[in-house]
Amino acid sequence: MRHLITQFAEQKNCLIGIADPNPIPGVRERLEQTETPFAPKPPMRKLSPADYLPDVKSVIVLGASYAPPCAEVSSIIARPGEPYTGLISSMALSPDYHRTVRALLIELAGLISAPHYKILVDSGGPVEREWAVKAGLGFWGKNCCVISPSNKGSFFNIGLLLTDLALPASQPGDMDGCGTCTRCLEACPGKALEPFRLNYKNCVSYITQKNGELSAEEQRIMGKQIYFCDICQRVCPYNEGVAPEQVKVSLTGLMNMTEDTFGQTCVYTAMNWKGFKILKRNAATVFNTIYKWG
């Protein structure tokens, strides 16, 4: 069984590890003390794999590298000489990982003939990154990402396959891989990072997804970022040579976009979740901050 999983990981260019399903110590307490957006806190948030599959015996954790941008988004990519441009993280332009990672896990469940299984891709309570460390995909970085010390860095999305198959667990990835490095803390435009802690309210990834009006400070922190931000990953030495490009997009193209065009262009991407108005607001914000008001 183990060799099938290893072969699958090699064929799909993924990271895969296995963890026992026992709850991870300290996670509940950490979540209770941490403000997190877009997710409920315990006890509303159910953290244990057994809450999702009562006879669970193993948690298979898969890390899939970011996919290239969808073909449909080519119309918003800046042409050479475009005067007004902003930046979008490649993950926002790729096919939505919730679907691509789920598809990979469905394929894997079929391959190992899992009698009962449950797939969680940002769709349940367990904290995927905690399980990724437990299953040995990588270590916790000071930038709050899971970093693979092999050649994968941190640019991967995580999904969980809970199964009632009993599989041997992988060695956890709980090493200190950062040492004295502080590059990510220094580079963060919102100064949102302390080692291993994120103040999400100052994080561009959150700001570019939140509803409502943005404060002057939030607009300043965004800089040229229209959607998501991965600066703290880009500067990380473990990502040298594996960081996907930030994509330069046309601000005028985005500001003139209609809802229909948004549907055709962004329907397969993660940006579809927050919708048309948020993307247009962000494009107008970057235009006003960087170009109009200087």
Interacting residues with ligand SF4 (CB under 6 A): 141-143, 178, 181-184, 188-190, 192-193, 198, 203-205, 229-232, 235-238
Residue 61 or 203 with smaller CB distance to ligand SF4:
203
Cα–Cα distance between 109 and 290 in angstroms, integer? 48
Neighbouring residues of 170: CB distance < 8 A, sequence distance ≥ 6: 17, 18, 19, 135, 136
Q: Give bridge partners of residue 77 from the DSSP assignment.
A: 249
Triad 59, 128, 241: Cα angle to 5°: 110
Helix (H, G, I), strand (E, B) or coil at 85: strand
Helix or strand (DSSP H, E) at 197? strand 197-198
Cα–Cα distance between 188 and 193 in angstroms, integer? 7
CB of 139 to ligand SF4, least distance (A): 9
Q: Is 55 a catalytic residue?
A: no
Cα–Cα distance between 63 and 102 in angstroms, integer? 11
CB of 7 to ligand SF4, least distance (A): 30
Residue 157 or 205 with smaller CB distance to ligand SF4:
205
User: Which one of the listed residues 122, 164, 230, 260 is annotated catalytic?
Assistant: 122
CB of 168 to ligand SF4, least distance (A): 29
CB of 1 to ligand SF4, least distance (A): 33
Q: List active site positions.
A: 122
